Chains A and B, each alone.
Chain A
Amino acid sequence: MYPDSEVSEVITENFIPVRFDVRKDAQPMERFGANWTPTILILDSDGNERHRIEGFLPKDDFLAQIKLGLAHAAFVAKRFDESERRFREIVEKHPNSESAPEAQYWAGVSKYKGTGNGAALGETAQAFQQRYQDSQWAKKASVWAA
């Protein structure tokens, strides 16, 4: 996974990367509550966990997942313009990943939180009528449909 140039570029540009070889030292697993390998945790700059990936993923899903973590970290920090942009990028660049419906949902929430305009939620519900109709995120957004 990591020799892939796109993956390493995304990680290098956006994260402080830390790798633990748990065969040599299992203590970090206990410290951060990791119970399986591979596990990827994304922590915000205050050290709070914002996203967790357990088990192997193919490249496209992996990239979408780490970008989801990045977007969620921005959302929790109330940087809603940034989180909306990052969530929308997942939908655009990784539309077939399992992260895309979740990203579409949170892009709408980010827009609403950033602007205070409730129409953003209705637009999101409409977007789910176009794609990802069968996802749990479409069900969650359905309450916003006019």
Chain B
Amino acid sequence: MAIEWQTDADEALAEAKRSGKPLLLDFTAAPM
């Protein structure tokens, strides 16, 4: 199961608010 990462923080925050789900933010400098 591949993770479908979002990249827009504001969109993700809005989705969290709507769904009640918490967010996991990953700050990485590794090749993606």
Contact of B25 among A8, A12, A41 (CB under 8 A): A41
Contact B9 A42 (CB under 8 A): no
* Residues of chain A within 8 A of B22, CB atoms compared: 14-16, 42-45, 50, 69-70, 73
A46 within 8 A of B: yes
* Residues of chain A within 8 A of B24, CB atoms compared: 11, 15-18, 40-42, 66, 69
- Do most interface residues of chain A lie in helix, strand or loop, or is the interface mixed? mixed
How many B residues face the partner with a CB closer than 8 A?
27
> With A and B bound together, what is the CA distance between A114 and B2 in angstroms?
36
Least CB separation from B26: chain A residue: A19
* Residues of chain A within 8 A of B4, CB atoms compared: 12, 17
